[in-house]
Amino acid sequence: MPLEALRYELTPVGLHYLLIHFDIPLVDAEMYELCVGGHVRRPLRLTLEDIRSRPSTTVAVTLECAGNGRARMSPRPLSQPWLAEAVGNAEWTGTPLRAVLEEAGVRAGAVDVVFTGLDRGVQGGVDQYYERSLSVAEASRGEVLLAYEVNGGPLPPQHGFPLRLIVPGWYGMSHVKWLRSITVAGSPFQGYQQATAYHYRTSDQEAGAPVERILPRALMVPPGVPDFMSRRRFVDPGRHVIEGRAWSGRAPITGVELSDDGGASWSPGNLEDAGPPFAWRRWTCQWDASRPGEHELCVRATDAAGNTQPLEQAWNLEGVQNNAVQRVLVVVGKADAVQAPADSR
Ligand SMILES: Nc1nc2c(c(=O)[nH]1)N[C@H]1C(S)=C(S)[C@@H](COP(=O)(O)O)O[C@H]1N2
Ligand SMILES: [Mo]
């Protein structure tokens, strides 16, 4: 998502980030069926019509890839080289998963609920359908949705047509797209995307900690205008309002601060009224750009659980959960008065 799209409360669908491990499957809506089975009393087969005729809810949810910020780590972990753009906030419409699980009747001894996509590929030498699981307790949270619409329109192919999972508060990998089946399991799910990938660890000798809920982050709309090559920004001297969004999947955002000296000093920003609990929150901050020359603008969010953003993030093998503060290099002064580096034509 281009960061100027932080201006929209709801990210227009074409500006929302995408992460697709394998290929986007082609799905015939007429033939589609979702199978709910495994450790249940009454296995279900639901057509799209069955799903659409169930009670529906619409919820705004900020989705962020666990690898957002990966390309800022050194050495750069191999995978999608995100800077800070792997985020979006959309309104998802669907039916609560909980009632579907209740109808199927989860049997005693159930441990995990496994969500399998229609997309297949090879990762880590393993031929697999994309699959992730949630504990029965997490899957039974009222906010977890089987979604078939985004921002009031049908789910487009790239976002999981015809049906995807939405797990408010969790990093993107758990929001399984192109859902083929939901299988209740009596033992912990050991699939590649669950047991091997998406762990915070510094070597492949460690098991590491599973990646789950989104850490706090604030991002600003980069002010002024960019230099094509270096991406440095130019702003006119004077007072500016810096704006952006902040979110956390762990607790409500309680504060946002801005720095114009690379994080040496901070001033508080203003949080707008809180909206839906899993949606990002707009913030603004006055910036007095009276001093000509280069400035490094930084922004940092804190949530009610006391989580905040570090100035530097420790390295990890998969490059996940890098919520180090955003840094935007800004030059105060006339853009064409600054000598362009030789490589910037
Ligand atoms: N079936 C399936 N679901 C998936 C993926 C995938 O590759 N296949 N990618 C996951 C990851 S890593 C992320 S970050 C989100 C991205 O969702 P979006 O592309 O709708 O933004 O989808 C998740 N769901
Ligand atoms: Mo992701």
Could you tell me which residues are beta bridge partners of residue 120?
Answer: 129
Instruction: Give distance in angstroms: CA of 24 to centre of ligand 2.
Output: 15
Following DSSP, what letter does each residue of 84-147 receive, concatenated?
A: S--EEEEEEEEEEHHHHHHHHTBPTT--EEEEEEEEEEEETTEEEEEEEEEEHHHHTSTT-EEE
Q: What is the mean pLDDT of residues 51-70?
A: 98
Report residue 4: phi and psi, to 5°. -65, -20
Ligand of minimum distance to the alpha carbon of 62: 1
Compute the mean pLDDT over every residue in the chain, rounded to the nearest whole number: 96
3-197 CATH, one of 3.40.50.1370, 1.10.150.110, 3.90.420.10, 3.40.605.10:
3.90.420.10
Can you tell me the distance from the alpha carbon of 102 to that of 42, in angstroms, rounded to the nearest whole number?
Answer: 10
pTM: 0.96
Ligand 1 atom closest to the CA of 17, numbered from 1: 21
User: How many A from CA of 268 to the centre of ligand 1?
Assistant: 34
* H/E stretch holding 49: helix 48-52
The alpha carbon dihedral of 235, 309, 10, 163 has a sign of positive
The reported pLDDT for the residue numbered 99 is 98
pLDDT tier at 344 (50, 70, 90 boundaries)? Answer: very low
Ligand 1, atom nearest to 171 Cα: 14
Which residues, by Cβ under 5 Å, contact ligand 2, an ion?
19, 65, 172-173
Question: Per-residue pLDDT for 95 more than 80?
Answer: yes
CA distance 105 to 199: 31
Of all protein residues, the one whose alpha carbon is nearest to atom 21 of ligand 1 is: 18
Class of the domain covering 217-344: mainly beta
Phi, psi of 15 (to 5 degrees): -105, -10
Q: Ligand 1: which atom is nearest the Cα of residue 64? A: 14
Residues with CB under 6 A from ligand 1: 16-21, 63, 65, 117, 119, 130, 159, 172-173, 175-178
How much is the pLDDT for 232? 93
**DSSP single-letter state for residue 276:** S
Nearest CA to ligand 1 atom 16: 19
- Bridge pairing between strands 87-96 and 33-38: unpaired
Q: Mean of the pLDDT values across residues 63-77?
A: 97
Residues 177 and 160: beta-carbon distance below 8 Å: yes
Q: What's the 83 CA to ligand 2 centre distance in angstroms?
A: 13
Contacts of 98 (CB under 8 A, 6+ apart): 139, 140, 141, 142, 144
Contact criterion met (CB below 8 Å) for 330 and 223: yes
| Positions of CATH 2.60.40.650 in the chain | 217-344
DSSP, collapsed to helix, strand or coil, labels residue 174 as helix
User: What's the rounded mean pLDDT across residues 152-179?
Assistant: 98
Q: Is the pLDDT of residue 298 over 60?
A: yes
Please tell me the predicted confidence (pLDDT) of residue 201. Answer: 97
Q: Rg (Cα) of the chain, in Å, rounded?
A: 22
Sign of CA dihedral 38, 109, 50, 58: negative
Q: Is the pLDDT of residue 341 over 60?
A: no
SS3 category, 272: coil
User: What's the rounded Cα separation, in Å, for the pair 222 and 332?
Assistant: 13
Question: pLDDT band at 345, cuts 50/70/90?
Answer: very low
In the chain, the percentage of residues whose pLDDT exceeds 90 is 96
Q: Minimum-distance ligand to the CA of 15?
A: 1
Q: How far is CA 70 from CA 75, 78, 86, in A?
A: 10, 9, 10
Atom 10, ligand 1: residue with shortest CA distance: 173
Percentage above 70 pLDDT, the chain: 97
Average pLDDT over residues 101-107: 98
Domain with CATH 3.90.420.10 in the chain: 3-197
Sign of CA dihedral 96, 151, 282, 72: positive
Q: What is the DSSP string of 45-92?
A: EEEHHHHHTS--EEEEEEEE-TTTTGGGSSSPPSS---SS--EEEEEE
Q: Which ligand minimizes its atom distance to the CA of 158?
A: 1
